[in-house]
Homo-oligomer: A and B are copies of this chain.
């Protein structure tokens, strides 16, 4: 029908949350992040990569936004499951440091920092107040070129 395709590009990562104030407390106050846009009782956006925003969207509005389709098979949970976000750092010591900083900010430790089962990494995992899991990792087989190209593998 159309010759159009979908470019290989993510612009927003949007997460439903039941408690936007807890999200603000953790990311703004706990971690010291800055918001691109913060709409009370609705949504808060953080820039997390070139051209990419991470948004925490009030769960009622997230569901409303998904529309009727959400009621017919699309899972629209408040506490997200089945995915995580990763934050890579330059050394195992930096993994320990970031995990401590997250715990100090109120994160729940899901997996204490340790050698990982895959890829020769050293990593830990924590959950934010919404239950969303962040992996904090040092991955010796990962690098980003100056132009943003990512390389993986030995």
Residues of A within 8 A of B (CB): 1-2, 4-16, 31-34, 36-37, 42, 45-54, 59, 61-62, 64-70, 73-88, 94, 97-98, 100-102, 104, 108-111, 116-118, 125, 127, 131-133, 135-136, 142, 144, 147-153
Contact = CB atoms under 8 A, between A and B. Distances in A.
A95 B51 CA distance: 19
Nearest to A131: B75
Given A1-B104, A47-B150, A81 B84 contact: no
Contacts of A81: 74-77, 80-82
Contacts of A54: 10
- Say how many copies of this protein the assembly contains: 2
A69 B111 contact: yes
Given A37-B152, A66-B111, A118-B65, A77 B82 contact: yes
